């Protein structure tokens, strides 16, 4: 499994990922109807492009495990510099093993995000004072310039 991003993919946007994922795994977004905003994810995936591959791999892995199609996505966002992937299960029952395996994938993905630059996908760490970000050295420098010029 490839968790580290392909640099070429950072040209793709999170909006493109949303479009692809919500089509491919439409059962995870049950209130979504054609032509309406993403529901229940009203604001879409609220993360930077550096987590593109991470999220894509998480969705693909969850879908492989979730054979009864029970997962419902509630929110995908950044908080305190890390990915927060909120989800639930619909009324269809899955085995405890499946619930555990999905939970494990989500915890792994959230942990990996804390070491993956949200801007470019390179190795990074959580930085910042009031607002926390996960950034690589290069993006950290750029961020500092943008904030203090």
Interface residues toward Zn ion, by CB under 5 A? 117, 119-120, 122, 136, 139
> Shortest gap between Cβ of 117 and Zn ion (angstroms)?
3
Q: Which is nearer to Zn ion, 83 or 120 (CB)?
A: 120
- Residue 22: alpha-carbon gap to chain centroid: 13
> Shortest gap between Cβ of 78 and Zn ion (angstroms)?
14
Taking only Cα atoms into account, the Rg of the chain, rounded to an integer number of angstroms, comes to 16
Strand partners, 72: 88
Q: Which is nearer to Zn ion, 43 or 123 (CB)?
A: 123
* Spatial distance between the Cα atoms of 65 and 60, rounded to a whole number of angstroms: 9
Q: Which is nearer to Zn ion, 17 or 28 (CB)?
A: 17
> Shortest gap between Cβ of 122 and Zn ion (angstroms)?
5
**Nearest to 45, CA basis, from 73, 80, 11:** 73
- Which DSSP category does 26 fall into? G
* Spatial distance between the Cα atoms of 104 and 99, rounded to a whole number of angstroms: 9
> Shortest gap between Cβ of 135 and Zn ion (angstroms)?
6
Q: Which is nearer to Zn ion, 20 or 137 (CB)?
A: 137
In the structure encoding, which two tokens stand for residue 54, read together? 């991470």
């Amino acid at each position: 499994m490839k968790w580290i991003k392909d640099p070429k993919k950072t040209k793709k946007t999170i909006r493109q990922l949303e479009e692809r994922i919500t089509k491919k795994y439409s059962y995870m977004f049950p209130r979504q109807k054609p032509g309406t905003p993403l529901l229940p994810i009203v604001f879409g995936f609220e993360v930077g492009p550096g987590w593109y591959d991470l999220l894509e791999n998480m969705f693909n892995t969850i879908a492989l495990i979730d054979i009864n199609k029970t997962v419902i996505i509630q929110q995908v966002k950044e908080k305190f510099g890390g990915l927060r992937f909120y989800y639930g299960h619909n009324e269809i029952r899955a085995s405890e093993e499946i619930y555990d395996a999905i939970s494990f994938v989500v915890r792994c993905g959230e942990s990996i995000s804390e070491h993956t630059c949200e801007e470019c996908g390179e190795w990074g760490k959580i930085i910042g004072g009031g607002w926390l970000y996960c950034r690589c050295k290069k993006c950290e420098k750029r961020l500092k310039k943008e904030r203090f010029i």
